[in-house]
Structure 1
Amino acid sequence: MQSADPSWSDVDDYIVNHLIGEDPALDACLAANAAAGLPPIDVSITQGRMLELLARANRAENILEIGTLGGFSAISLARGLGHSGKLVTLELEPDYAAVARRNLDNAGQGEKVDILVGEALATLHGLVEQRRAPFDLVFVDADKQNYASYLDYALKLARPGALLIFDNVVREGRVLDPSSDDPKVPGTRKLYEMLKNHPQLDATAIQTVGAKKWDGFLMAVVREE
């Protein structure tokens, strides 16, 4: 993918300076991730605040995250929880999970967060088997090839009225191309196809530009009837 347009990043900086301000915990998280050699694919600062506000607006007490990486988005989501709330986040790589644990603890959010290490589909199956209390919000930012399967599990684990959020669903417009050489496109397109006229979900997607280039989020709400 091409670099972000400088003006997009400048606008992101303007938004951060005026609406968010300095955040030493998130800065330290990104620095720790870089030092540990994690890929720089976290959500942006503005997107992290969006996730926090959506969790607060939904009065989320139980959040599921698929794809922890170094814990940047987990810190944001945990901040949006109620005082007794809990975040369960799934990570494939043990080394990434260890970095995330340190970052969450350093940000003062560690007690709210359980990190489950292993293959996400197997972990999700286990959560269903355990009849885990339903989640109020599910955030998915993991391997796009399994997005459709993650949607299936999210529906099994979410309560009526829950908010489901999927990241990276535009991919600089490559989602339009069924023959794209981007291996992540087919899974993303399958997610859209599954949601088209879905009987249990109302959904939309929104394009984003900024420090993370041109991409987007897909959001769906589980119907309550």
Structure 2
Amino acid sequence: MTQEQQEQWDSVDDYFTTLLAPADETLTTALRDSDTAGLPRIAVAPNQGKLLHLLAQIQGARRILEIGTLGGYSTIWLARALPTDGRLITLEHNPAHADVARANIARAGLDKIVEIRVGPALDSLTVLGAEHEAHAERAARPEPFDLVFIDADKVNNAHYLEWALELTRPGSLIILDNVVRGGAVTDATSTDPAILGTRSALELIAEHPRLTGTAVQTVGTKGYDGFALARVLA
């Protein structure tokens, strides 16, 4: 990637965002407060947030699971697509990040439908799974998630995907972010844990009998990356 390429990508993203996903005070403040708190600048771009919002609407999602909250920017985009009786559970490992997200989500007026669970995501997913099993024994199993957005540590991507399968239904949509890794995902000899985790997740999508999916490369303000989409089959 050259400086000239990045400037062109930034320019195109700015055009798309201004025209199709203009910022509002709530989203702008969420990013500003995340910066002030020292959170890493790895939130989705505005046009990517709008894509998540549209995918949730197209899916007709009533229950969403997000793995990786950060400052709550993507959480707000997703939660805004839910009906008033919808539910979004988001998992965040870092308590300080969760505090920032909690304030941003409350300011957006979404704290009644968003629940932040703090701790290692695999631990939180184990608890979620146990809750589903406990309810199932009482014939009152919680509704499965209609959409899962995975955007946490890449090492555990395949494990997160396996849990997503456990907690969804036929027809549910799973979105896995940051799968291109600047092109490094193609390196079969890589020892980078993030690459290994991402490749394992993509291979799981390709091989699992209950999944069908694809992956798309993207360029923009976030550089060269991409995402995978998978649909849960019967």
- What TM-score does the superposition give when structure 2 sets the normalisation length? 0.92
**Equivalence map 1:60-75=2 (5 Å):** 60-75=61-76
Q: Which residue of 1 aligns with 2:46?
A: 45
Q: Which residue of 2 aligns with 1:105?
A: 106
Relative distance call for 1:2 and 1:141 in structure 2 (3 A) is farther
**Equivalence map 1:118-197=2 (5 Å):** 118-131=119-132, 132-180=142-190, 182-197=192-207
Aligned with 2:103: secondary structure? helix
Aligned with 1:111: secondary structure? coil
Measured in 1, the distance between the counterparts of 2:123 and 2:192 equals 26
- Deviation of the 1:148 alpha carbon: 0.6
- Structure 2 residue identity aligned to 1:166: L
- Deviation of the 1:197 alpha carbon: 3.0
Identity %: 50
- Deviation of the 1:209 alpha carbon: 0.6
Structure 2: unaligned runs, 5 residues or longer: 133-141
Relative distance call for 1:213 and 1:181 in structure 2 (3 A) is farther
Q: Which residue of 2 aligns with 1:59?
A: 60
Measured in 1, the distance between the counterparts of 2:215 and 2:156 equals 18
Structure 1: unaligned runs, 5 residues or longer: none
- Deviation of the 1:109 alpha carbon: 1.5
Measured in 1, the distance between the counterparts of 2:148 and 2:188 equals 27
- Structure 1 residue identity aligned to 2:171: G
Measured in 2, the distance between the counterparts of 1:181 and 1:42 equals 26
Aligned with 1:208: secondary structure? strand
| Superposition RMSD in Å | 1.4
Relative distance call for 1:2 and 1:168 in structure 2 (3 A) is farther
How many residue pairs get matched? 224
1:3-37: CA deviation from partner (whole Å, max 9, x where unpaired) = 77111010010001111223111110110000000
Aligned with 1:184: secondary structure? helix
1:83-124: CA deviation from partner (whole Å, max 9, x where unpaired) = 210100000011100000000111122211000001111110
Which portions of structure 1, spanning 4 or more consecutive aligned residues, are displaced by more than 4 angstroms?
Answer: 1-4
Measured in 2, the distance between the counterparts of 1:22 and 1:220 equals 29
- What TM-score does the superposition give when structure 1 sets the normalisation length? 0.96
